[in-house]
Chains A and B, each alone.
Chain A
């Protein structure tokens, strides 16, 4: 479990005014959850993520991972093994010359024996669906595939929690789909707790819970269905409403009460519209 209590973070940049990136955040993340953190640029999403594995330390407040405080230097390495992190740009995360070497990199640093390492690499390759690419040079892969290599490298270390900081932002729609599918699978089949960060509303649909950040504070916290009901609030946080949700919202307001204003998927909308037209 992850527990965040009264967490604030202030960036002190020399010769500039301090920036308050996080203000009194309180959040608990349970095992097995698929939590999405959404917010526009500058809302504090990435800052929050970096607190969960101790890349940043609180200006005030505390963060505990499985009871270990990130301020406790003794625990830092243990925490980072428990909380794996995948970043936005796949090119910045790949270090080795072949896919399998790249996935093994973290394991080598952990001093895992060869047999165990092979087993873990094979498992990770299979989970992200890249078995036939194991001997490829990473630069020959597509963006979506590279991002899956980065994910494989992290899960090979068997973390309990996986944080993904806008892993789809630099990908095309096909790459996006691939990555989302893998994340879903990791959560549902492998039982990894997922903390997924995005600024795209379309991508929150698969998660159990959504936290909306606005200007460093938690503005909304709830199930996707309930969050999507708050179209006006979301818009005021500079978030985009998917076309379908916007259409459902408008039609509902025009008196079409059988159309739920929190419709998220095209198929749902089609079903509901069939009642009317």
Chain B
């Protein structure tokens, strides 16, 4: 399996609010961030909750508070499966 993103890449998270389980929190939907590191390969949580195991790259993605909340000078880092991400 080869990863789609590299460290330093700019990415955008999905803005879809699915009606199934997901590990992409509301506050981080449709936001732009930077790939900080790879975070292993793990079964996609959305599918695993439905009994389907599909291993996928996970990335540590860092967002500025400004991007997430429109205010603040801190950063927030999340682990995001490749399915949650697209090119900026």
B is a partner of A: no
Q: Which residues of B contact A (CB under 8 A)?
A: none
